[in-house]
Structure 1
Amino acid sequence: MTGASYPLRFRSAEARGTRIGRPLRLFGRVHGVDEALLDRIGRAFSERDEPAAALAAALRLPPGADGRVTRAQVSAALAEVGASAVDGPPRVPAPGGRADLDERPAALEQFLPHVTAVPGWVDWELVDEGAAVLRRLGQNAADVLLQLSLVGGYRFGGPTDLLAATGALTGGTLQRLARTQEWTVALSEPGALRPGGPAWRATVQVRLTHALVGASFTGPGGAGTEPWDTARWGLPANQADQAATLGLFDGTVILGCRALGVPVPPSDSRALMHLWKWVGHLLGVHPDFLVDDEWARHRLDHHVLLAQAGVSDAGPRLARAVVAAQAERTYPGPAWWRPWRARWERERMLSMLTVFLGVRSMRELGLPLRPPWAHAYLLPLNTWRYRVAGRSRRGRERLERWGRRRSDAILASYRPVAPAGHEETAGQRQSVGE
């Protein structure tokens, strides 16, 4: 160790993290503990995404204040960013591009290059192939992201307490899940992550949302009913938690899909990891935590587990809210069938969670245990779908079409039927601050 100062949560439940991380250590080929890496993670609890934090501070300034940035200015600047050519630099919008925006504020001007400049390591063909892999994974990726990534992440204090402090426990669970689903589905569209593309804009807006949440708890006029305990948790939306979240989206999805019987060969793994490396860059994750090698991610994720705190009071409440939200979704079919479908979805989710998280974690989160019947039917189904029917080029194309259909159906189930004339646009759903 370097003698650096760490928050109290750092390694406060290391024995528990070691137990939870045993499958990751085994299937992720992790060998030993790297104290230097743990030290880097510990220091990252006190680091934040500085470019986005500066922009968030400017967004929170009162009207008329010098250097204030408005959401309209951010949205206009992002809309002006042209789609980047693969071999050329992206077009950064010039100040004063619109008549109602005479001059771009300094904080916005300084932020834009961090999301428009494309690092030399980005391979657009590999990014697009990663999107295709994500489409082929279809329902399986959606299941892993919701269960192992999201609910599994509620087993650790810190990010869960921040989420609870934002008011997430008072309602709106279905809307939060819908926005996350919309974002991940957008990432799977071809070319959507190039600067100026819809997934690029949505990802930049996610980055700003994280920064705004952090600013609301550390700046003047904090949003929480109690001050944020930096000594205990580190900074809100810190770099260690950002790295942990990225690991839940890339490496965890790969391992989770394999646990459901889906083969993820090295070529698919490489493409998917590269896609998420670019997404992580756009989200403001520190370069120390950006990797496009699956095994490097598993090693990093294992050390992140060792650095975590135990479960807090917020974790079980958030987990139960996600399970309960399955009954609020809009399922197709006649009205008499929908309550039965909602119950089936809830039981299916609990069955999969019992396998993914294990008995002790389910009890810690206050979730009821279920037999592993969902895995029992998914394993042979995915074996047929991916290892037999999906082996050929046409088979993979069929898997992509199936993945799109499942994504559309999942998104539709999270959206209430809008009254005529009140349809919500994609731009409204992706507005800054959501």
Structure 2
Amino acid sequence: MTATAYPLRYRSAEARGTRIGRPLRLLGRVRGVDEALLERIGRAFHEQDEPAAALAAALRLPRGSEGSVTHAQLRAALAEVGPLWRDRSRPVPTSPQPTDLGDRPAALKRFLREVAAVPGWADWDLVDQGAAVLRRLGQNAADVLLQLSLVGGYRFGGPTDLLAATGALTGGTLQRLARTQEWTVALSEPGALRPGGPAWQATVQVRVTHALVGASFSATGAWDTARWGLPVNQADQAATLGLFDGTVILGCRALGVPVPPSDSRALMHLWKWVGHLLGVHPDFLVDDEWARHRINYHVLLAQAGVSDAGPRLARAVVAAQAGRAYPGPAWWQPWRAQWEQERLLSMLTVFLGVRSMRDLGLPLRPPWAHAYLLPLNTWRYRVAGRLPGGRERLDRWGRRRSDAILASHHPHDVSDAQVTGAT
């Protein structure tokens, strides 16, 4: 393997990654550094989701040209996948997929077969159990996804620079956060991830969007491939998946939420299926949390340091809390917005640490939010949640919190009465 097989970012800040990854190495039971795994991650910086990339290329062709695909054709084809798949489903699916794809462009057919196929490892009962776990985590999952997964990911150059270049978070932060929240809430609904289901549709659309972004930057030459690797690459996709599954598990435990092995297994299986739909390479798809922590630790070692984009994106997320719609009368909104920003900074200080907060240009705050969340979650999950009907109450609470968070990200679409109470 030659040095040119890796982008310049590869292991360019390994000492920093080792420092940031110390808690993960301890809590994730990671034993030592696996050079073969690091090498695999390094190669993945120059690998992409080929079926989605081919579809993106076809979508960018002039309409009516040979091999071109329109967005209308894509939407119509995805709408047909559900009935086609259900006609061929089995009690325990091995690999059912639609075969009657009609007279469609080759790139679209290939993509449809890819997203409609169900691997033999897929277990729908376990996927639904994972969705239920995600619902019960409620506010805690939302906090970890925003703070440790999203803002924590801004500590590394590459994906942050791509986000900043698209203007997705600096020009419309609240809308982008709302779309992510909508997607994660959709994933938590039972049965929604089966081929043709609403969460399946949304996830496949995310995959197409990623491919179109990658194709756009590759075509214009505006992306420094030698430095960062491909705009949307398999290493970064694996890193993103790890921020949604293993990181959420560890983060929720840090907030005092018990995540037993059965819940961990179910949640990991849910995200394994989501990762498959997103086009993540099978080498990085796991449904064992300890395998994910091991991958995540090595991903940290492979990363670059913080870039100029990281602080800008992080500050945009903090500032966006002022644009949300909170419960109560209009005069109360600025005070609640300030409280939410302070709460966010308090939790970020604990999750990311002092040096990372300084790297992102964020002010430090005392850990008061963790101080109230730890006993609250101990009561909610370890006491009340274990009483008769406790799981059902946690499920209802999780739904209410998810709906409230989502509603708060659409301040012009909801009234005060539609936004539910505090944490």
Q: Select 2:366's aligned residue among 371, 377, 396.
A: 371
Task: Kindly indicate whether the alpha-carbon contact (under 8 Å) linking 1:21 and 1:302 is maintained by their aligned counterparts in 2.
Answer: yes
Q: 2:410 aligns with which of 400, 411, 415?
A: 415
Aligned position for 1:249: 244
Q: Is 1:87 paired with 2:82? A: no
Deviation at 1:267, TM superposition (A): 0.3
TM-score (norm 1): 0.92
Name the residue aligned to 2:304.
309
Determine if contact 1:247/1:301 at 8 Å carries over to the other structure: yes
Q: Which residue of 2 aligns with 1:66?
A: 66
Q: Structure 1 unaligned runs (5+)?
A: 97-102, 421-434
Per-residue deviation at 1:26?
0.5
Mapped pair 1:266 → 2:261: yes
1:142 alignment partner in structure 2:
142
Which residues in structure 2 correspond to 1:138-287 (within 5 Å)? 138-168=138-168, 170-219=170-219, 222=220, 227-287=222-282
Contact 2:407 2:414 in 1 (8 A): no
- In the TM superposition, what is the alpha-carbon distance from 1:391 to its structure 2 partner? 1.5
Please say if residues 169 and 176 of structure 2, whose CA atoms lie closer than 8 Å, have aligned partners that are also in contact: no
Counterpart CA distance in 2 for 1:416 and 1:70 is: 33
Contact 1:6 1:46 in 2 (8 A): yes
Letter in 1 for 2:352: L
- The corresponding residue for 2:389 is 394
The question of 1:292 aligning with 2:297 is answered no
Hey, what's the Cα distance between the residues in 2 that align with 1:72 and 1:413? 31
User: Relative to structure 1, is the Cα distance of residues 335 and 378 closer, same or farther in structure 2, using a 3 angstrom cutoff?
Assistant: same
1:298 aligned partner, one-letter code: H
Q: Distance in 1 between matches of 2:414 and 2:251?
A: 38
CA distance in 1, matches of 2:112, 2:294: 32
**AA in 2 matched with 1:74:** L
Please report the TM-score for the alignment, with normalisation by the length of structure 2. Answer: 0.94
**Secondary structure of 2:330's aligned partner:** coil
- AA partner of residue 94 (structure 1): D
User: Hey, what's the Cα distance between the residues in 1 that align with 2:376 and 2:295?
Assistant: 32
Q: Contact 1:82–1:91 at 8 Å: present in 2 too?
A: no
| Cα distance in 2 for residues equivalent to 1:393 and 1:75 | 45
Q: Is the 8 A contact 2:239 2:296 kept in 1?
A: yes
In structure 2, how many angstroms separate the alpha carbons of the residues matched to 1:382 and 1:369?
24
2:339 to 333, 344, 350: 344
Aligned partners of 2:136 and 2:50: how far apart in 1? 36
Query: Is the 2:154–2:306 Cα contact (8 Å) retained in structure 1?
Result: yes
Partner of 2:421: none
Is the 1:81–1:93 contact (alpha carbons within 8 Å) kept by the matching residues of 2?
no
For residues 297 and 344 of structure 1, what CA distance do their matches in structure 2 show? 34
Separation (CA, whole Å) in 1 of partners of 2:180 and 2:170:
18
Distance 1:5 1:393, change over 3 A: farther
The C-alpha deviation readout for 1:121-144, integer Å capped at 9, x for no partner, is 001100000000000000000000
Higher helix share: 2
Q: CA deviation at 1:305?
A: 0.1
Structure 2 CA distance, aligned partners of 1:170 and 1:377? Answer: 31
Amino acid at match of 2:301: L
Contact 2:61 2:68 in 1 (8 A): yes
Q: Distance in 1 between matches of 2:167 and 2:373?
A: 35
CA gap 1:169/1:176 in 2 versus in 1, 3 angstroms = closer
Supply the distance in 2 between the matched residues of 1:54 and 1:392 (Cα, whole angstroms).
52
SS in 2 for 1:337: helix
Q: Distance in 2 between matches of 1:183 and 1:77?
A: 21
Equivalence for 1:31: 31
1:334-354, Cα deviation, whole Å (9 max, x unpaired):
101111111111100000000
Q: Are 2:170 and 2:312, in contact at CA under 8 Å, matched by a contact in 1? A: no
- Residue by residue, what CA displacement relative to the aligned partner does 1:173-222 show, whole Å, maximum 9, x if unpaired? 11100000000000000000000100000000000111000000112xx2
Q: Would you say the 8 A contact 2:181–2:406 is kept in 1?
A: yes
Task: State, as a whole percentage, how many aligned pairs show the same letter.
Answer: 84
- TM-superposed deviation, 1:90: 4.9
Distance in 2 (CA, whole Å) between partners of 1:360 and 1:107 is 46
Could you tell me how far 1:416 is from its partner in structure 2? Answer: 3.0
Shift of 1:65: 1.5
Q: Quote the residue 1:122 is aligned against.
A: 122
Q: Match of 1:384? A: 379
